[in-house]
Structure 1
Amino acid sequence: MQVKIVAGTLFGALMMSGAAFAQGDCSVGVSMYTLGAPYFAAQEVAAREAAEAAGCTVRTADGQNDMVKQIGDVEDMVASGVNVLIINPRDPQGLIPAVNAATAAGVHVVSMDSMLDPSGDYITNVSASNGDNGELVGEWLANETNGEPLKIALLSGSQGNVVGQARRMGVLSGLIDAQLTNFGNANVEIVGQGWGNWSTEGGLSAMEDLLTAHPDINVVLGENDSMVIGAREALRAADRLEGVLLVAAADGQKEAYEMIKNGEYGATGLNDPAAVAELAVEVGLKALNGEEQELTKYTFTEPAVVTQENVDDYYDPESVF
């Protein structure tokens, strides 16, 4: 079975039992494939703080978007004696040998956010449900546009990334299904796909190119908020914001929430980096403590689409992300 967990419920229980981990008993390594986007930076902070709150020593590493470096980071952490490894992997296949070696050395390995191939020897992948979030965003988009023909500029993160693929396909599935259900037809055209490398600057550059080739765009769909925020800047500079609806498959970046509150941005899928990181650390520490857990290779936080109607339930002006 796939396990869906409401963010924060298990983490609270872990903190209540945190005294079980003495400072010398628990050493957590947090291997991030990049800290080059606000989401990943916030996730690293949350993972470190969760492990420290449970009484563990913590080592963290930035893979700098380089798989070879991340492999070296993992090997260094294992050699240093970590007994829990939380990894956000650069590549679903390429990190498997290092992860398998860590598990063979007695390390409890949990993948978070970007997913490892399920053939690997690790406990579980912890993430938001990219497909479910995407479907909710797609349903909202169909209802919001009320059968209008959609010409969508798609902003994707990086080629071959399975998370990005799940996000865009989730949105398109939810959108087309809702259009068919509500209007008896689906009128959706992806006019072009740009690669924004998950960043605001990348989204801006990709949007400039797409807008030049396709001036009739009326929807921008991004695989994260950062790229859509960058796309918005490109649209504003071209005096093309009017009549273009901005949506993201996932993230919930603070700046996006602020624009959603102000009616300047349509919707985003809920992908709280702190909730994902806290849950990943929690799973790893429970494994270290010998606690039984009913987990498969995929453990999901609760999906949601964040819109102007419910953004106040999620917006935190003090959030790192």
Structure 2
Amino acid sequence: MNRVARLMAIGVAAAVAVAGCSKPDSSAAGSAASAAPADKKLSIGFFGFAKANSFAQATWAGIQEYANANNAEATFLDSNFDGPTQVNQLQDAVTSKRYDVVIVQANDGTAMVNPVKQAIAAGITVVVEFTPVGGKYDTADPQVPGTINIIDPPTVNGDGLAKLGIDACKSAGAATGCKVAYLQGFANYPLDTARTKAAADALKAGGAAEVISNFVGGYTPDTGRAAMQNLLQAHPDVNVVIGSSQALEGATPLASGKKITFVGNGGSTQAYGFVNDGTWYGVYSVPEKKSGAKAAELGLAKARGQSVPESTVVCTTLTSFDCLGTKASLQGQTADYSD
């Protein structure tokens, strides 16, 4: 999830593979309105979270790499985490017909429904990447007919973070009476709201004695440091802290000398380092560069008349460890972006 999000892991085969956990193509997703000639250079518009965001930069690196190797050019349209700006950008792109393929990393999945429908109606191939477009945050299934979806459902992300959090409690010898703090990303941000609720509910169901989820950690070391200061004042006996990897980079030094362990969300090189040296218990690591490349692969393939899967779940398709990164499961793995 600057460095994910407003601060929210190479290569991909040239042939389009339909993985076992990807939904088969429907007539809407499987055929382009008008297939582009095989030798035509195509244009991709990437509507990402923010250019300054390291997670979106990983997506962008994957998109660029695949586009450059497959007769396409790509452009990053920077909404800087602003939902209305992103809506306007996509509507303008539909009007200008500048792009053959658009890859949407939605800041507000509900608000992007209408412009995505407009793009589909205009014959533009639309790939929904990472965040669902629509009002449901627990599925990778298409919520707008005709879209290609390569998604990490926020509720699945929250459940995964909770599993790592409960395991961190056990690892720290606090399986009973474990107090867990979940630092929200953005307050009232649809993706974060769904993820926070899923994580808090799963932590309680998993046996956490107390779950604290009213602190906003954001997606930068500075906001994470501030949240950790407030958390420690109110709950000095906290055992496990979960939050965006960027936020935890700022929070971790404040735990020096305390029996606190951490679970990060976002598989940067820094996060991998903290896990590998034992400072953090684990990290939810989405292979975001690979996901960006796959989004470009599927979008270009459909625009050129090939059939593609309409739904792909990132963590069960593009990783060997379901995104649940611990010191053991990260052995041999390499992060594909840095904060």
TM-score exceeds 0.5 = yes
Whose helix proportion is higher, 1 or 2? 1
Report the more deviating stretch, 43-52 or 116-125. 116-125
Structure 1 241/46 Cα, relative in aligned 2: closer, same or farther at 3 Å? farther
Report the more deviating stretch, 63-72 or 89-98. 63-72
Structure 2 SS opposite 1:70:
helix
Taking the TM superposition and a 5 Å limit, the aligned residue runs for 1:16-35 are 21-22=38-39, 24-35=40-51
Partner letter of residue 52 of structure 1?
A: N
Structure 1 counterpart of 2:137: none
* One of 279, 287, 293 as aligned partner of 2:302: 287
Structure 2 counterpart of 1:197: 218
Structure 2 SS opposite 1:125:
strand
Structure 1 144/31 Cα, relative in aligned 2: closer, same or farther at 3 Å? same
Alignment partner of 1:226 is 2:246 = yes
CA-to-aligned-CA distance 1:31-80 (integer Å, 9 cap, x gap):
11323321122222222222222110222211012222212322333314
Q: Distance in 1 between matches of 2:51 and 2:10?
A: 23
Structure 2 counterpart of 1:72: 88
- Listed as ranges, the gaps of 5+ residues in structure 1 are 1-6, 180-185
Measured after TM superposition, the shift of residue 312 of structure 1 is 2.9
CA-to-aligned-CA distance 1:233-268 (integer Å, 9 cap, x gap):
3x15xxx552001012x3211101111111111101
Whose strand proportion is higher, 1 or 2? 1
* One of 163, 182, 198 as aligned partner of 1:154: 182
Q: Distance in 2 between matches of 1:21 and 1:142?
A: 54
- Listed as ranges, the gaps of 5+ residues in structure 2 are 1-8, 18-36, 135-141, 317-321
Structure 2 SS opposite 1:60:
strand
* One of 167, 172, 195 as aligned partner of 1:140: 167
* One of 281, 288, 291 as aligned partner of 1:276: 291
Measured after TM superposition, the shift of residue 176 of structure 1 is 4.8
Q: Distance in 2 between matches of 1:139 and 1:282?
A: 37
Q: Distance in 1 between matches of 2:93 and 2:257?
A: 47
Partner letter of residue 266 of structure 1?
A: Y
Taking the TM superposition and a 5 Å limit, the aligned residue runs for 1:245-284 are 245-248=261-264, 250-284=265-299
TM-score (normalizing by structure 1):
0.81
Structure 1 counterpart of 2:76: 60
Higher relative CO (Cα under 8 Å, sequence separation at least 6) belongs to 2
Alignment partner of 1:48 is 2:48 = no
Q: Is the 8 A contact 1:93 1:116 kept in 2?
A: yes
Q: Distance in 2 between matches of 1:41 and 1:8?
A: 14
Q: Is the 8 A contact 2:200 2:213 kept in 1?
A: no
CA-to-aligned-CA distance 1:176-220 (integer Å, 9 cap, x gap):
55x5xxxxxx24212342113322222112212222222121111
Structure 2 counterpart of 1:128: 152
Structure 1 279/160 Cα, relative in aligned 2: closer, same or farther at 3 Å? farther
Q: Distance in 1 between matches of 2:199 and 2:213?
A: 16
Q: Distance in 2 between matches of 1:275 and 1:72?
A: 28
Partner letter of residue 194 of structure 1?
A: F
TM-score (normalizing by structure 2):
0.77
Structure 2 counterpart of 1:105: 122
Q: Distance in 1 between matches of 2:268 and 2:325?
A: 11
Measured after TM superposition, the shift of residue 142 of structure 1 is 4.8
Partner letter of residue 167 of structure 2?
A: W
Structure 2 counterpart of 1:82: 99
Structure 1 295/226 Cα, relative in aligned 2: closer, same or farther at 3 Å? same
Q: Distance in 1 between matches of 2:74 and 2:223?
A: 32
Structure 1 319/312 Cα, relative in aligned 2: closer, same or farther at 3 Å? farther
Q: Distance in 1 between matches of 2:115 and 2:301?
A: 22
Structure 2 SS opposite 1:195:
coil
